[in-house]
Structure 1
Amino acid sequence: MDVADLDYRARTRSGCIPPELVLRLLEHGHVDVVELQAGRGEWFCALAWARLLGEQGRQADALEVLAPYLATGWWTAVEAAAELLEGWGRVDEAIEITRVRMEAGHPMALESYTRLLARHGRAEEAFMLLRPHIGEPSLAVTLVDVAAAVGRDEEAAALLAARTGHECSDFPWCCRGLDRDTAIGLLATIRERQGRIDEAIALLRPDGTTLLNRRQLAALLALHGRLDELRAAAASDDSGYAVRRLALLLEERGDVEGAIAAYRQADLPGAHDAHAAVELAQLLARHGRGSEAIEVMRRQADARNGDDWILHILADLYLGQGRPEEGLAHLDALAAARGGEEYWDLYGIRLPLIAARDGVDGAIAQARSHPEGATWYAALHIAELLAGAGRIEEAVAVLEQHASRNGHDLAGYLIDIGRVQDALTILQRRTARPPEPSDGPRHDAPRSETPCPV
């Protein structure tokens, strides 16, 4: 096996059987297919088969399945094997295979190795390994997590405090990503863990202009029930984080009206933020106020005519309320305001509403009458309508006309109707792989970076 090829196919889900379709094979009882493909270089099949064998108590067989992948040194396989070994109680073996990759210089192995150590009584050793790497964001997070297990919170805090005065000149290169705001956030995490909540809040507030700190501050205030302070933060936070946290906290406490008001107050960012409007609509729908939810999204759709994600949510709300006719009328009015022309990315939004009103065949007829109705992307929507009506064979026939563009969807439906070999043929079709970066396969080549001089 070639590590670069394995990595490329696993990352891009191309030329392989992706995990969701491995699951589909298993759900349809094709365990033999998964077993066979596991030995033919299909990583996601190998992982699923190894897990099944482990659950059956056949751990040696499971490791034998993974052995060819592990032999390449591919980090993804090493990490998966370590997770299985740890789950089986074979901790020393999990630590050992991770240590080998760490000592080989793999950029992601140190974090996994030290977390393994910390989980199994060797947190002191983990802390000392991580200490020189305080300037690397993921490892700094790991160090903060590990510090609690060995009573080294103050030492970790001192390491972070030394970085809070650094102003990045060329982020992320000058500091490898652990900028001042990240350091402050981690320091606040330590203070919160120590029960020094006021100090944690004070750390986050002076630099509240950063999104990172505003998000953490809002979460901190909500977690500790600091409702008045959260309200004050919501009133001045144009990022929307505090508004959302306030609304969630009030909803959890049973104050649905208060949660709604948090979004609706005219002086809050949620009144003008499309994402907050969506959350408000979802809140209303959760509490049986579908008509109000629709009205919220109608206003957003009118203000942002042509934003497909807004129209998707609006259409789904109309569908969920059993009001497809009204939904289509509103979409028609919006289309008219755009000059009457509607490209497929917007037209396709109306198909479930048409199907609810006129039936699946009526929706398909209208889809095919659209100027883009014969395209590969229209075929996806048509097939979805057919499949939703249980007409899988017809969905397959539609997608087979564009098999080169709709391979994964087509393969899923082929598995559903038992045409497994046809599905595999489509999925395992290889395409030319782009050249690797000069420093080797992504995620598997050690990196050389200059640490920040602080």
Structure 2
Amino acid sequence: MDATDLDHRAGTRSGLIPPELVSRLIERGHSDVVRLKAGHGEWFCALEWARSLGEQGRQADAMEVLAPYLATGWWTAVVAAAELLEGWGRIHEAIEITRVRMEAGHPMALESYTRLLARHGRAEEAFTLLRPHIGEPSLAVALVDIAAAAGRDEEAAALLAARAEHLCSDFPWCCRGLDRDTAIGLLATIRERQGSIDEAIALLRAGGTSMLHREQLAALLARNGRLDELRAAAATDDPRYAVQRLAMWWEERGDVEGAIAAYRQAGGPAADDPASAFELAQLLARHGRGNEAIDVMRLQADVRNGDDWILHTLSALCLAQGRPEDGLAYLDALAAARGGEEEWDLYRMRLPLIAARDSVDEAIAQARSHPEGGASYAASHIAELLAGAGRTKEAVAVLEQHASENSHDLAVCLIDLGRVEDALAVLQRRTR
């Protein structure tokens, strides 16, 4: 095995049985297959099998499974092994394997190593290691997280204050990535932690043009019960984050009407901002008011004619509320406004609605009548309908016509039918 090859295959999910299929094999009683493949370069099988052995108290066997992967120096394997060792209480070993990769110069190892140290009583040592790297954003975040346990909040604050006063002339090169806005946000985190809420608020308001600062400020106000200020922020020209936090605050306290009112207040974002409208629709659906949720998303669909994600949300809500005919009527009206033509990405939203209103067979018949109904990407949606109706053999027959383009879905169906060797063969063909 080679670390570069493993990293590529695991990152692209090519040439390996993906983790969701490993889980499916175990769920369907094929642990023996996972065990066998774990020793033949299948990383996700090895990881799942090692976890399973650890749960059985067979820690030595678990580490033996991971040993060939660790021997390559592959960082992903190191992280997984360290997490298992830490979970088993073998802290020294977890620290040691991470330290080795840090000293070898792996770019991600320092953060993992120092966080591991801090979790186990060595926060001051971790802070000292991180201090020279204040200019690197992820390490600056780690330093701030560790500073309190190390008793060095003021030292961290001084480092960040110097960064916060600097205006970048050639970002990210002049600051190595830690820009002024990020430094201010981290400094505000320290001040809030120290109880200096007013100072934290002042810092974030001074950088109020930053989206991250607005989001952080809204969360800070909500955490500290500063509702009047949160309401004032919700009444500004850019209220999204404040409204979201205000609604969450009310919902967490059981006041659903208050949460809904936060989105629907005069001048609120729910009418103009589709993301806020989506949040309102989800809130309504969570509390048994799905019909109102449909109305919210229908309004967005009217305003933003053709935004796929809005139509997907609207269709899903109609399906969940037992109103497939309303979802289809809206899609019909949209298609008519476009001259009756619908590309497959839009047309496929109809299929579960047709299946719910009429039947799966009718949905499949209509799918196949579409000009793109014979395409490989259409096959996956047709097979999904069949599999969802318990007709997995028929789903396999559909997918096999386009096996190379639908190898993952085909493998899922074959596993469900108990045809594990065929499923693995499909995945191997995809690799070649």
- CA deviations on 1:305-339 (whole Å, 9 max, x unpaired) are 21111111111111111111122111101111122
Q: Are residues 174 and 410 of structure 1, via their aligned partners in 2, closer, same or farther at CA, if it must alter by over 3 Å?
A: farther
Is contact 2:51-2:62 (8 Å) kept? yes
CA-atom RMSD in angstroms: 1.3
User: SS state of the match for residue 236, structure 1?
Assistant: coil
Deviation at 1:352, TM superposition (A): 0.7
The aligned counterpart of 1:172 is 172
The aligned counterpart of 2:304 is 304
- How does 1:38-187 map onto structure 2 within 5 Å? 38-187=38-187
Count the aligned residue pairs.
432
Deviation at 1:274, TM superposition (A): 0.5
The aligned counterpart of 2:370 is 370
Paired AA for residue 362 in structure 1? E
| Worse-superposed segment, 215-224 or 268-277 | 268-277
- CA deviations on 1:62-106 (whole Å, 9 max, x unpaired) are 111111100110000011111111111111111111011000110
Identity of aligned residues (%): 81
Distance 1:19 1:168 in 2: 42
Is contact 1:265-1:271 (8 Å) kept? no
User: SS state of the match for residue 295, structure 1?
Assistant: helix
Distance 1:95 1:391 in 2: 50
User: SS state of the match for residue 349, structure 2?
Assistant: helix
Deviation at 1:430, TM superposition (A): 5.7
User: SS state of the match for residue 271, structure 1?
Assistant: coil
Is contact 1:25-1:34 (8 Å) kept? yes
Runs of 4+ in 1 over 4 A off after TM superposition: none
| Worse-superposed segment, 15-24 or 419-428 | 419-428
Comparing both chains, which one has the higher relative contact order based on Cα–Cα distances under 8 Å and sequence gaps of 6 or more? Answer: 1
Q: Does 1:414 align with 2:401?
A: no
Is contact 1:376-1:406 (8 Å) kept? yes
The aligned counterpart of 2:396 is 396
| Worse-superposed segment, 239-248 or 182-191 | 239-248
The aligned counterpart of 1:211 is 211
Deviation at 1:237, TM superposition (A): 4.9
Is contact 2:136-2:178 (8 Å) kept? yes
TM, length-normalised to structure 2: 0.97
User: SS state of the match for residue 341, structure 2?
Assistant: coil
- How does 1:239-258 map onto structure 2 within 5 Å? 240-258=240-258
Deviation at 1:255, TM superposition (A): 2.6
Deviation at 1:431, TM superposition (A): 4.9
Distance 2:239 2:5 in 1: 42
Distance 1:294 1:87 in 2: 45
Paired AA for residue 164 in structure 2? T
| Worse-superposed segment, 30-39 or 242-251 | 242-251
Paired AA for residue 51 in structure 2? R
Is contact 2:271-2:300 (8 Å) kept? no
- CA deviations on 1:268-294 (whole Å, 9 max, x unpaired) are 333200111111111122222222211
Distance 1:424 1:237 in 2: 55
Segments of structure 2 that go 5 or more residues without pairing to the other structure are none
- How does 1:288-367 map onto structure 2 within 5 Å? 288-367=288-367
Is contact 1:168-1:174 (8 Å) kept? yes
- CA deviations on 1:152-191 (whole Å, 9 max, x unpaired) are 1101111111100122233233322211111111111111
Is contact 1:15-1:429 (8 Å) kept? no
User: SS state of the match for residue 162, structure 1?
Assistant: helix
Distance 2:29 2:142 in 1: 41
User: SS state of the match for residue 110, structure 1?
Assistant: helix
Distance 1:346 1:170 in 2: 43
Paired AA for residue 262 in structure 1? A
Deviation at 1:395, TM superposition (A): 0.8
TM, length-normalised to structure 1: 0.93
User: SS state of the match for residue 300, structure 2?
Assistant: helix
Deviation at 1:426, TM superposition (A): 1.9
- CA deviations on 1:113-164 (whole Å, 9 max, x unpaired) are 1111111111111110010011111111111111111211101111111100
Deviation at 1:54, TM superposition (A): 0.9
Is contact 2:102-2:113 (8 Å) kept? yes
- CA deviations on 1:211-252 (whole Å, 9 max, x unpaired) are 111111111111112111111111115261111111111222
The aligned counterpart of 1:19 is 19
Paired AA for residue 41 in structure 2? G
Distance 1:296 1:363 in 2: 27
Distance 2:422 2:431 in 1: 18
Paired AA for residue 115 in structure 2? R
The aligned counterpart of 2:225 is 225
User: SS state of the match for residue 206, structure 2?
Assistant: coil
